[in-house]
Amino acid sequence: MFEYRLIAKDPATGARAGEFVTPHGVVATPLFMPCGTQATVKTLTPAHLREIDVQMLLCNAYHLGLRPGAELVAQMGGLHRFMGWDRPILTDSGGFQVFSMAALRRVSEGGVTFKSHLDGREIFLTPERTIQIENQLGPDVAMVLDECTAFPTERAVAAAAMERTLGWAARCKAAHRRDDQALFGIIQGATYPELRRECADRLVPLEFSGYAIGGLSVGEGPELMQEIIGCTISRLPVNKPRYLMGVGRPEDIVEGIAQGLDLFDCVLPTRCGRNGLAFTSLGRVKMRNVVKRADEKPLDPVCDCYTCRSFSRAYLRHLFSAGEVLGMTLLSLHNLRFYMRLMQEARRAILEGRFVEFLERRRRIPLAEPAAG
């Protein structure tokens, strides 16, 4: 039911193109998953997502367990039917909330005690309860509960979090009940290479369906991030998907592909879209800049999305100036199409034996928009 097929590998780097087989379809890798935390990608419909070739979504089991509740989603036929999405779904466990909601939680060997951000009630999230929620939601891929640490983190703190992550992973594996749902393990260890290697070496024998690298893009910077990826990925099996969690800058994703990663997710493209920042083939473009006021050009001259085919930069700027929600929708749509095209171009370059050329070209693209706008 679940299988990773390695189709091609770039001989000069670790980049690889593959296929990940799931109950809701086969997805081509490398792959970017938009974040639908609350069972929706903000401002966009499932029809929008299908139009721009989104293959797989990420949802959040912690948030959906709180609202509307995993039991209700199961009663409504599972997450796919509930949100009207017939392609694969991956659910994050809530491990990132252990990090991001530090003021509202207490961590112990047993699990994590949260104060709900909705009503303040106390919730004890154990590995077993996490898996129960994900089993009820019914995504194609469920993630284990893990502990993500801040940057910088003392080695003793990072080591303790790694040990908890390994213990929780084993408990998640024991609690998992669905044969039609893959379970991925998560590698932690902060920015300590030896901890990352140890975590991977102890996690792989547990035989998960795939392996994720968590706890990055929390302030460590791109060079250190790539160093940690490099020392970790060599310990992972070649016949299973490799997932880099929560890393979303295009330049970081491309470097991750070069190291041999398959799956990516982040809120960045849609969050930036809602705030007037577009990713384009020319670099980042700020739609609120006054220079766009009478700009007749499309947002990105090489993009095939509805936004770029239909509207000028001037119109998009007008929408943001007027506070119209349509501006958020159009830019979010474009940004996600940019990411889908980036993944498709990387895959094509690997298959055609020209990934190094693709990588060098991507590295030359400026991060900021040209001075002329």
Residues, the chain: 373
List CB contacts of 147: < 8 A, sequence separation 6 or more.
95, 98, 99, 107, 161, 164, 165, 168, 188
DSSP-derived pairing of the beta strands 105-107 and 112-115 = antiparallel
> Measured between alpha carbons, how far is 182 from 168 in angstroms, rounded to an integer?
17
Q: Is the separation of the CB atoms in 233 and 243 below 8 Å?
A: no
User: 16: which strand partners?
Assistant: 9
Q: Is the separation of the CB atoms in 305 and 278 below 8 Å?
A: no
| CA nearest to 235, candidates 194, 271, 289 | 194
**Cis omega (within 30 of 0) for bond into 30:** yes
Q: Please list the active-site residues.
A: 92, 265
DSSP per residue, 281-295: TTEEEETTSGGGTT-
> Measured between alpha carbons, how far is 348 from 362 in angstroms, rounded to an integer?
14
Q: How far apart are the first and last CA of the chain?
A: 49
> Measured between alpha carbons, how far is 113 from 299 in angstroms, rounded to an integer?
46
Cβ-count burial of 301 within 10 angstroms (0-12 exposed, 13-18 middle, 19+ buried)? Answer: exposed
> Measured between alpha carbons, how far is 42 from 37 in angstroms, rounded to an integer?
9
- Please report the beta strands in the chain, taking only residues with DSSP state E, as ranges in sequence order: 3-9, 16-22, 25-29, 31-34, 57-60, 89-92, 105-107, 112-115, 122-125, 141-143, 182-187, 210-213, 242-244, 263-266, 277-280, 283-286
